[in-house]
Amino acid sequence: MIHLTINDRSVEVHEDRTLLEACREHDIYIPTLCFHPALEPYGGCRLCMVEVSQSQPRPRLVAACVHPCQEGMVIKTDSEAVLQSRRITVELLLAGAHNDPGILALAEELGVENVRFKMPDENACVLCGLCVRACHEIVGVGAISMINRGISKEVSPPFHVGSPACIGCGTCVLICPTNAIKLQDVTSFRSIHPTASIYDRVYCQVCEDTDPSVVVFNDFDTLLEVETSHSDNHQG
């Protein structure tokens, strides 16, 4: 165990903890956007900035989600420098996602009333990277990634074409904090197995069935007959 001082409060934490984990273990609030407990820390949104002083002559701001705890650290999570950093970050986030309820709530909490910047897209991706990392780390596919640089940076499948690696699981859509990504943005295919359905049956990226014909089933016996034939063809 190591000893820290967080907001003038002495705490003990395990050596392998980040500052964000240490604060959350002791019910000390730090806002985050790009952090998810199922993923490796990314440090992209910069909302979790805290003020750290240890052996430095003056305090410095660090991203709590990626900064490791060290013996004797003194941390401030609500200093004026920290709050000002978060206000600027939230203002920049609102420039492109000014209709997102979560970011609006954070802006109200921090007292951000006027947004000096604005992007053409009012529901723009905030580039938190959660969808990309979830696709890589949880699904293990990597169908999407960050492409381009600067103001042109965006999340996309390769060459803006529906990725054949995508299995249509929707993890990227579910984990997006601002609902900026839609499943049709990732893949141009709809994966449908033979079921009682009015939908066209197209390319299935799980079983590699490429039969493009329309299949509609209205009774269980027909469905079972086609499923059996389908399995025999794949085994043969």
Q: For 111, which DSSP code?
A: T
CB-CB neighbours of 97 under 10 Å: 22
The better pLDDT of the pair 145, 195 is held by: 145
Write the pLDDT tens digit of every residue in 84-122: 999 999 999 998 888 889 999 999 999 998 888 888 776
In a domain, 143, yes or no: yes
6 plus 72 within the same structural domain:
yes
In-domain check, residue 230: yes
Query: Is residue 14 predicted with pLDDT exceeding 50?
Result: yes
101: in domain: no
For residue 8, give the CATH number of its domain.
Answer: 3.10.20.740
In the chain, count H helices and then E strands: 7, 7
| Residue 7 and residue 69 share a domain | yes
Task: Look at the block and give the residue holding tokens 């909302």.
Answer: 47
Please report the pLDDT score of residue 230 as a whole number: 55
163 shares its domain with 198:
no
- CA dist 149 and 211 (Å) reads 39
N-term to C-term CA, the chain: 60
Q: Give the pLDDT of residue 44.
A: 92
What is the number of structural domains in the chain?
3
Instruction: Choose among 182, 47, 21: nearest CA to 103.
Output: 47
Considering the domain architecture, whether residues 170 and 215 belong to the same structural domain is answered as no
- pLDDT-derived band at 60, boundaries 50, 70, 90: very high
- Looking at the fold, whether 155 and 218 belong to one and the same domain comes out as no
pTM to 2 decimal places: 0.74
Other C-beta atoms lying within 10 Å of the C-beta of residue 108: 11
Domain, as residue range, for 58: 2-78
Residues 118-168: tens digit of each pLDDT: 887 767 789 999 999 999 999 998 888 998 888 888 888 887 777 778 888
Q: What is the pLDDT of residue 199?
A: 43
What pLDDT shows up at residue 56? 67
Contact 2, 15 (CB under 8 A): yes
pLDDT tens-digit series, residues 201-234: 444 544 555 454 545 555 556 655 655 665 555 5
pLDDT of residue 188: 52
CA distances from 81 to 50, 106, 111, 133 (A): 9, 17, 14, 30
pLDDT of residue 154: 87
Any idea what the Cα angle at residue 163 is, between residues 149 and 203, rounded to 5°? 165
